[in-house]
Amino acid sequence: MIQANDSRLKSWVAVPKDSDFPIQNLPFGIFTTRYLTAVAGVAIGDFIIDLVYLHEHEFLDGLELPRGIFNQKHLNDFFALGRKKVGAVRERISELLRHDNGKLRDNNPAREIALISMTETQMMMPVGIPNYTDFYSSEEHATNVGSMFRDPKNALLPNWKHLPVGYHGRASSIVVSGTALHRPKGQIKLPDSESPVFSPTRKLDFELEMAFVSCSNTPLGNSIPLKEAEDHIIGFVLFNDWSARDIQNWEYVPLGPFLGKNFGSSISPWVVTLDALEPFRSDGPEQIPQVLPYLEFEGKRNFDIRLEVLIATDKTEPTIVSKTNFKYMYWNPAQQLAHHTVNGCNIQVGDVYASGTISGPTPDSFGSLLELTWNGQKTLTLGGGLERRFLEDGDTVIMRGHAEKDGVRVGFGECSGKILPAK
């Protein structure tokens, strides 16, 4: 039997060549239309499959799905069924969409209702997020920041190569792609002043990240062994952890990020399943020194996902400012989750775990303006000759990502957000 990831699969739905959503992807999201309140759907090409309709009209029979599981404003209850059940739904949808399956294709009334053009929809938050953790897992990024603000010869702190550094962020201010954010305000300390001032940030930045979403609830006091970590991960989204660098620089000692981060983060609306990303597994960087036993792993635990960041202004089209790859991450998602729970921390369905800024080995692969402009010492040139050191009001940041192999492209869509003036 041909599996859902098989590169030979074709769909009866026309899928543009450069689409992020071929039949081998089938990510899950929540959408609305003029006629539908928030419901679950699956992306295929330029269309969305209405899962409520499929479920209520017997296209998903035999999968033993709870009634109303897709007629909800978030995917949490569906994801809580676990990777195996979610994978079975993805397999069934793959079968229904295959070029030689006429069950939905030849049922004109059903097809016209179930298959909805993306132009008629609005994407919503895919999950209700109980908790949010941000890691700091790119060696290149950590080295750049350490070199910038501390000692280039000792850029990494002593613990960095022994554990995945992370902190708990603010879940309530995570917004779906396309949501505009106001420039944050806070205390900043200017170089020539002894005391701080209260001001809108003058160093607003993006951070290019990926994030995984959990699909289980674990008891307090239990740890997740690394070999079981991926059983608790349903899939990935793009993630922009917006940052106010001057606010952050003044406040982060001694306890770390606070107002410089919690004003907003953006996620892409489609959750690309771990199952869909299986063909794109990759080796990560060699980890030296040897990690402690609970962080040891076998096999390929990184993912070869090409990423890019673009900046558009009210006067210019988007300009690519960074190209990098998720495979560069020193600490992989399985290690992150194992470490997160090794002390007995419980996790919940819908928790979001961001990778930390993803930077590569070359200057054009850095994942933040802090690095790309070296804290404002250099400038980036956008379309029309406009220059940027940090983000200005009216700027829109667009993040894209996709994996590609054997002629199959599995992507995430976009994660975008526009900066509005401070209130």
How many other C-beta atoms can be found within 10 angstroms of the C-beta atom of residue 304? 17
What is the chain's percent helix, strand, coil content, to nearest 5? Answer: 25, 30, 50
141, 232, 339, 402: which one is catalytic?
141
Q: Would you say how long the chain is, in residues?
A: 423
DSSP 156: S
Question: Is residue 57 annotated as part of the catalytic site, yes or no?
Answer: no
Nearest to 278 by CA among 232, 239, 230: 230
Nearest to 271 by CA among 85, 93, 123, 118: 123
Distances, alpha carbon 260 to alpha carbons 172, 206, 247, 251, 409, in Å: 15, 12, 5, 8, 36
Distance CA 281, CA 230 (A): 13
Distances, alpha carbon 109 to alpha carbons 3, 104, 343, 415, in Å: 28, 9, 54, 34
- Which tokens belong to 324? 């990098």
Q: Which residues have a catalytic role annotated?
A: 141
